[in-house]
Amino acid sequence: MSGPPEGTIDAGVRRSRLGFVSRMREVLRASDTGDVMWDEVEETLIAGDVGASLALYIVGRARADVARGMVPEIAVRHELGALFARREPVPWPRKPAPDVPAVVLVIGVNGTGKTTTIAKLAHRFHTRGAKVLLAAGDTFRAAAIEQLQTWADRVGVPLVAHAAGADPSAVVYDALDAAVARGIDVVIVDTAGRLHTKSNLMEELAKIRRTVAKRLPDAQPEVLFVLDATTGQNGLSQAKAFHESAGLTGIALTKLDSTAKGGVAFAIERSLGVPVLFAGVGERVDHLLDFHPDAFLEALFA
């Protein structure tokens, strides 16, 4: 199996996380807690792609907390923590009945890492003993089916695919048929990357969603939005559009092994109430972590 030379990735993860941590800690533990410090807090948040308006909001609230006697570090942590959406304490993905497979639709704009995330999810469920089936719903991009097939072979799970150019809804329908027939536990559906401003493509997504509801009325599909952590403020506009078309139930934040912080996820969680569930931290199939807000904040300020 070919893959990029290994050995630097874990170091990269550590570096990225430590970079953010040390900066925020350093700033907040300054001896002078006046305007200069708060300007730097704001800058640190903006540099992490939290967004200018949200950064201003957080700083404003944290300063009010501090005026009421809170320590600055606790205040910022508290205000950041308040932005996270509520997490449901249920298993993921939802599987409403023993004979109904759980369905995960994986969606997002082009190049965010949907296919790689699918491989990682498949690996995770597969190694935990679940029967996994992949559906090659990206029938548009050249060689997308081959890419998913390669991953399916590596992970050791079956794939349902049609020819390039086929109707993705038809692929999904067939995959669900096959899943029911074979007693599959989890069906993971790949979809073509699409810019959220293309309404015909967003409608195609809504159709895929309807196809699932039609074939498996009892299924409660998980709709996983894959967001590249290097994305800036456009991430919010993306998430809103995808939420409107397909009803997001979770977010996978990918490429966190870069130096990017993925701060736009705060804005998304806050405005849509959709939680980040997974963090992609590298190119290997086991490079997918559960995302826990507490641990995330802990890492931010530890």
| Residues at the contact surface with another protein, assessed by CB under 8 A | 2-5, 7-9, 12, 15-16, 43, 46-49, 51-53, 109-113, 140-144, 146-147, 149-151, 154, 195-200, 203, 228, 230-235, 237-238, 255, 257-260, 263-264, 283
Q: How far is CA 272 from the centre of its chain?
A: 14
Tokens of 243: 């939420």
CB closer to another protein out of 77 and 114: 114
CB closer to another protein out of 49 and 79: 49
Closest separation in Å from C-beta 1 to another protein: 9
Rounded Cα–Cα distance for residues 22 and 36 (Å): 18
CA-to-CA dists, residue 31 to 36, 52, 61, 78, 209, angstroms: 11, 25, 20, 20, 54
> Which residue(s) pair with 265 in the sheet?
none
Closest separation in Å from C-beta 272 to another protein: 15
Closest separation in Å from C-beta 294 to another protein: 25
CB closer to another protein out of 112 and 249: 112
Collect all residues with Cβ–Cβ distance below 8 Å to 174 and sequence separation of at least 6.
135, 160, 162
Closest separation in Å from C-beta 300 to another protein: 17
Closest separation in Å from C-beta 156 to another protein: 15
Rounded Cα–Cα distance for residues 265 and 275 (Å): 9
Closest separation in Å from C-beta 301 to another protein: 20
> Among positive and negative, which fits the CA dihedral 103, 104, 109, 111?
negative
Closest among 100, 288, 128, 279 to 187, alpha carbons compared: 100
CB closer to another protein out of 10 and 65: 10
CB closer to another protein out of 251 and 264: 264
CB closer to another protein out of 203 and 286: 203
CB closer to another protein out of 198 and 210: 198
Give the SS3 label for residue 136.
Answer: strand
Closest separation in Å from C-beta 241 to another protein: 9
Give the sheet arrangement for strand 186-191, strand by strand.
159-160, 132-137, 186-191, 102-107, 222-228, 250-254, 276-280, 288-290
